[in-house]
Structure 1
C-alpha cells in the first residue's frame, strides 16, 4: 500500500490545504492528514475541532484518514508505515523552509517528501491571513469551506474582536 502523510496545523483548514489533500488522494492508496499538536502554540481551534472539521470537509475522499500527532513527523510516518510526506508549496519562501525539513527527514529516517505546487488560485492563502480577515469581519468564503467560515464567525462572535 502506498501511504502518504499530509502534516500541518490546519488552524483552520483552507481551500489550498484541501486542494493538496484531494490531489494527494489521487496519487496514493491512503492519505493521512496529520494535525500537529504543538503545545507551545495556542491555536484558534482546538485539536479536536480541527479534526472534526477536517473529517467533515474530506468525507468525500474515502482514502483520507484524519489524525493528530505530537513529536517527530518521521516517527509518526514510521509508526503508520507511511513512506512519503506531501507538502504544498505556495512560494519560494515555503520551498526554502520545507527543503531543509525534507533533507532532515530523509537523513533521519529515509522518509521522502513530495513537494506539490499549490493551485495558483490558492497561492496567497494562509490560515493566519484567513483568521485575520475573519477576525475583522472580512469575507473569507473564497478561501475556506463554508463550514470553516461558519466556525470562524462563531469563534470571533463569541470572543469579540477587541
Structure 2
C-alpha cells in the first residue's frame, strides 16, 4: 500500500470530488431533456427501472436504485400523480406495495429514447470510451460496496 504521505490533500486531486462534481454536472446535463418529458432525474431513473422490469415492489425498486424505501415513496407518489405509474397493495402481503406502469408510463419510454444519445453527445466522447468508463465505475461501486459491507460487519461484531 502507498504511504499516506503520497496522497495529496488538494481538492482537485481527490477521486471523491471528481466523482461528486461529475455527478452534479451529469444531473445538470440531463435536466433540459428530462424537462421535455416532465421528469426529474430521480424520476427518470425510477422509470428506467420500471421499463426494464414492470411490477416491482417499492423495496425491490429501492434496492435497484440504491435508495431507501422512505425516499422512494414521495417519488412514486409524484409519478402516480403524473399518471405514469400505479401503486397497488400486495394481495398476499398488504404491507408490500407494487409499482406498475400505466399505459402512459409505457408510452413515455419511446420519447425517452432520445435522451441517451443526447447525453453521449454532451459528454464529448465516443460510445466506446463512455462504455469503458461506465464499466470502470460499476467495478468501483462494487469494490466500495464490498468494503462497506466488510467494514460494517467488523464494527457490529461484539468484542471478546
TM-score by length of 2: 0.32
More helix by share: 2
Q: Which protein, 1 or 2, shows the higher relative CO under an 8 Å CA cutoff with sep ≥ 6?
A: 1
- Which structure's CA Rg is the greater one? 2
TM-score by length of 1: 0.32
More strand by share: 1
